[in-house]
Amino acid sequence: MPHHTTALRLVAPVAVLALSLTACGGGDDDADAKSPATEKAKVSPPPEPTSGGAMKAGESATGKVEEDPGKVTYEILAQKVDVGTEAEAAKAVSEPDKVKGKVLATAYLKYTHQSGPALTDGADVHDGTTVFADGQRGTVLIGASEDAAGCEDPYDVDSWQQGESHVFCETYVIPANAKNVEVHWSEEDGEPYIWKFPNA
pLDDT 10s digits, 95-148: 899 899 999 999 999 999 999 999 998 899 999 999 999 999 999 988 776 678
Q: Terminal CA-to-CA distance of the chain, rounded, Å? A: 30
CA–CA separation, 198 and 200 (whole Å): 6
The answer to pTM > 0.85 is no
Q: Residue 58: name the closest of 81, 77, 74 by CA.
A: 77
- Percentage helix, strand, coil, to 5, in the chain? 15, 40, 45
- Model pLDDT, residue 149: 87
Domains in the chain with CATH codes: 55-198 (2.60.40.1240)
Res 181 pLDDT > 60: yes
Q: Which position has the higher pLDDT, 48 or 191?
A: 191
pLDDT at 16 over 50: no
The pLDDT mean for the chain works out to: 80
Residue 20 has pLDDT above 70, yes or no: no
CB neighbourhood size of 72 (10 A): 24
Contact 110, 87 (CB under 8 A): no
Res. 175 pLDDT band, cuts 50 70 90: very high
Burial code (b: 16+ CB inside 10 Å, e: under 16) for 165-197 equals: ebebbbbbbbebebeebbbbbbbeeebbbbbeb
Any idea which of 39-43, 56-60, 120-124, 145-149 has the lowest mean pLDDT? 39-43
For residues 124 and 169, the answer to whether their CB atoms sit within 8 Å is no
Contacts of 155 (CB under 8 A, 6+ apart): 122, 123
C-alpha closest to that of 67 among 131, 111, 14: 111
